[in-house]
Structure 1
Amino acid sequence: MKNLQALRERRDQLAHTLTNLVDKDKTPEWKPEHQAQYDQAMAEIGDIDAQIKRHNDAMAAIGAQAATGNVGDNLREQFTRTPDAHGTETGALRAYLTGGLMALQPEQLNAMRTRQSGDIANAMRLPQAGMSTNAPAEGGYTVATEYYRQLTEAQRAFGGIRSVATVIQTGTGAPMNFPSADATSEEGEIVGQNTPVALGETTFGNISVDSYKYSSKKIAVPFELIQDSMFDIEGYINALLAIRLGRITSKHLTTGTGINQPRGIVTASLVGKVGATGQTVAVTYDDLVDLEHAVDPVYRAGGNVGFMLHDSSLKAIRKIKDTQGRPIFVPGYEQGNPGGAPDRLLGRPIFISQEMPVMAANAKSILFGDFSRYMIREVMDLTLFRMADSNFILNGQIGFVAFNRQGGNLIDVGGAVKHYANSAT
């Protein structure tokens, strides 16, 4: 751990050096020796990042072993879940996945029933007639807090927009409307004595953030996997359903059309800059400056202001230099440390989102603006169903499916977020 801390401190030191190096006030003239120093520091940062990644991968492997029971309970508690989180709900979920409601102990069932108050993510939905042909006692299980937290964290890992948007949670999925108005062009007047004022009406609009029901799609788990005591069926279900829901919701919150799905932030953004002919897979320094200044200063001083782009677009930007040959990309400080900061572009944070379009003809490949103006609505109704009917039983399987409800929209009409579009040809 000391070696890891030393690596992070060294990375921060290099990032600080590069920040000062590309500062025009501190380095007025960019010379070949400055470029050599920049390249050397960036190469060392790349090597440090690789070492940190190897460490994190090793820790993840230990966590995976802990989840399958290959290491002690203390490691299982330390690496795979929140400390002291192995409560009744987790045991109930594991028992439920394996054997359904009939496998739950009375205290587990009672505990889940009593947890309904104040947290709908901990409710147990009782079975209803006709839900299963072979096992009428099988019903739905509304997941425990721990499971909901894990799935939410997995979705954040997929969706870069989630880390900077405004996220709200609502108890129902009823329509949610926000009044809108664009008064940026409205102004007052000078009037003389005893002169009537002119009419200056304003107009209002409406922006809605609707919720949509998402399914993980059903999965069929063979009896053999469920019966294998070495297989972590709980972790398997958690990971698979989280990945599926995380991918589809993150994609829609980024590029959704707004027709029978959320209106993604790319779709809702306004044009800030269009690349010149020939820039189908490229962007210039001037384009980025124009994009930044296409957003009104009132928004540029707002909350989560920065650039959002795909990692492949960042790769292209890292090769851009200003008119003096000075790199415009500045590496950030190691995240999680005091003073940590993201990578920066033109002095602004960079937010990587793999759901963003890659550079191509007419692609809206780069966003800039105040991303806190994008609202993500989560309806706290994440439900996992275990299906043991004839469709699965006759194939030697148990079926699982998860549902949740989400939506998103840009709550702004004045241009808080604008995009750079690559040229058509």
Structure 2
Amino acid sequence: MTIQNLRERLGALKKDARNLLENKGSATWTKEEQAQFDNLADEAERVERQIDAHQRLLDNEAEDSFSKLPTKEKGAKVDPAMAAYENYLRKMSNRLTAQEIEAIRNTMSTTTGSEGGFTVQPVVASTLIEALKDFGAMRRLAERLVTTTGADLSFPSTDGTSEEGEIIAQNLPSSDADIAFGTVPLNTYKFSSKVVAIPIELLQDSNIDVVALVNRRLRERVGRIQNRLFSMGTGTAQPFGVATAATAGKVGTTGQTLTVTYDDLVDLVDSIDPAYQTEAQRFHFSQTVRRVVRKIKDTAGRPIWTPSYDEGMSAKTPDLLLGYPVEINNHMPVPAANAKSITFGDHSKYIVRDAMELTMFRFEDSAYLKKGQVGFMAWARAGGNLTDTNAVKAYQHSAT
């Protein structure tokens, strides 16, 4: 069965499950109806695992054999800066003309040129950094802050949920109530893509979109480590992950080291102060947690999970949990003792900071050329932290 057939099968299963939910409405569910919904959810999960396995196989084949290479659009207008960047990627140093070298230097600072590297200016760097949104859940959820340098930064924070006014009698002065400000660290850390080796033949093929090819490889490598640390980084020599920074809105009772209940999820939602309740609120967890919450029923026996049967196709309707959208992020902690496996709230209060000085290196030495390759490596500086812990709360499993 092809991956397209599997996606169509998944869409049909989710549609049947959603129709079952809609047809029952608010009526109490029978055990037979619960079993029917659970069977659909189980089959959907099996199909999803097959799709994931197929996709990993395709990705591995693409990584090993450079299959499905991006091609250039004929007649497309090329920005001069991007054209200079393409020449830097495509041509050997001794093949560049004086005009091309000048264009590269104008587009990419030569701060590290003596070592073979270039500091990429924002017009080029932004194409790589923006593409990271498509790779990691945290960049899709978070707000982005761009700074021109990577110097340490303390981001201001304040909590006004407990503040209120007062009644003043006639001719009496008003009381003082100064706003209490705090700060959270929003420092940057240097991320490496490691060296990406590209066959010389591909660089010489003018039909290949070499910018997209190299950027895709760099994006995947940098994107993986950034998303993992933005999700669960410790804050020590690395960013604070959202699961680390978020305070517990609900702690599971003794014995719930691997589980979560309907009441737990309700309490987690209600742990967010009404002042912070916005349309941006959503659940955020891994596929491992999704396997648990898909089976949870409310007090009337109704599933609290609403599947999106358009997922993977038009994606018009998201998966819902208790009526809130769900963001799947497999870098979130899995259920375990004391683990914060679920976050809920307005995740835009997590700030991803990018220092717009992406450094690119090109390696043409014998270690690569004897294999018919050219190496590329990128350094990127970024950081992240939850700037308002009242906006996002976590479900924390029991310690025992």
Worse-superposed segment, 278-287 or 208-217: 208-217
CA change 1:83–1:43 in 2 (3 A) is farther
Structure number with greater CO (CA < 8 Å, separation at least 6) is: 2
1:167 equivalent in alignment to 2:169: no
CA change 1:365–1:194 in 2 (3 A) is same
1:416 equivalent in alignment to 2:382: no
- 1:11-410 to structure 2, matched below 5 A, reads 14=16, 16-21=18-23, 26-35=25-34, 38-39=37-38, 42=41, 76-77=71-72, 84=76, 96-97=88-89, 100-106=92-98, 108-113=100-105, 123-126=107-110, 130-131=114-115, 138-140=116-118, 142=120, 149=127, 152-153=130-131, 155-195=132-172, 197-217=174-194, 219=195, 221=197, 225-226=199-200, 234=210, 237-300=214-277, 302-335=278-311, 340-388=316-364, 399-410=375-386
The residue identity in structure 1 corresponding to 2:274 is P
C-alpha contact (below 8 Å) 1:89/1:144 kept by paired residues: no
CA change 1:397–1:278 in 2 (3 A) is same
Instruction: Report the Cα offset of residue 333 of structure 1.
Output: 4.4
Separation of aligned partners in 2, 1:96 and 1:151: 19
Worse-superposed segment, 249-258 or 365-374: 249-258
Instruction: Report the Cα offset of residue 291 of structure 1.
Output: 0.4
CA change 1:35–1:221 in 2 (3 A) is closer
Instruction: Report the Cα offset of residue 269 of structure 1.
Output: 0.8
C-alpha contact (below 8 Å) 1:89/1:108 kept by paired residues: no
CA RMSD between the two structures: 4.5
C-alpha contact (below 8 Å) 1:18/1:331 kept by paired residues: no
Worse-superposed segment, 311-320 or 158-167: 158-167
C-alpha contact (below 8 Å) 2:272/2:393 kept by paired residues: yes
Instruction: Report the Cα offset of residue 169 of structure 1.
Output: 2.9
Separation of aligned partners in 1, 2:343 and 2:218: 30
Query: 1:283-325: per-residue Cα shift (whole Å, max 9, x none)?
Result: 011100000000112222x242111001101111112122332
**TM-score, normalised with respect to structure 2:** 0.78
Tell me the secondary structure at the aligned position of residue 76 of structure 1: coil
Question: In the alignment, what sits opposite 1:135?
Answer: none
Tell me the secondary structure at the aligned position of residue 235 of structure 2: coil
CA change 1:211–1:150 in 2 (3 A) is closer
Tell me the secondary structure at the aligned position of residue 257 of structure 2: coil
Separation of aligned partners in 2, 1:400 and 1:331: 42
C-alpha contact (below 8 Å) 1:279/1:422 kept by paired residues: yes
Instruction: Report the Cα offset of residue 327 of structure 1.
Output: 1.5
Q: How many residues align?
A: 394
Separation of aligned partners in 2, 1:46 and 1:424: 29
Query: 1:185-227: per-residue Cα shift (whole Å, max 9, x none)?
Result: 222333444555545343222234232222223x3749xx446
Separation of aligned partners in 2, 1:141 and 1:333: 45
CA change 1:266–1:83 in 2 (3 A) is farther
Separation of aligned partners in 1, 2:384 and 2:167: 42
Instruction: Report the Cα offset of residue 399 of structure 1.
Output: 4.6
Separation of aligned partners in 2, 1:228 and 1:76: 11
CA change 1:52–1:290 in 2 (3 A) is same
CA change 1:401–1:18 in 2 (3 A) is same
Separation of aligned partners in 2, 1:250 and 1:21: 39
The residue identity in structure 2 corresponding to 1:299 is Y
**Structure 1 residue runs without a partner (length 5+):** 117-122, 132-137
C-alpha contact (below 8 Å) 2:286/2:331 kept by paired residues: yes
The residue identity in structure 1 corresponding to 2:221 is R
CA change 1:149–1:83 in 2 (3 A) is farther
Worse-superposed segment, 230-239 or 188-197: 230-239
The residue identity in structure 2 corresponding to 1:38 is F
CA change 1:251–1:53 in 2 (3 A) is closer
The residue identity in structure 2 corresponding to 1:124 is M
Question: In the alignment, what sits opposite 1:134?
Answer: none
Separation of aligned partners in 2, 1:174 and 1:283: 41
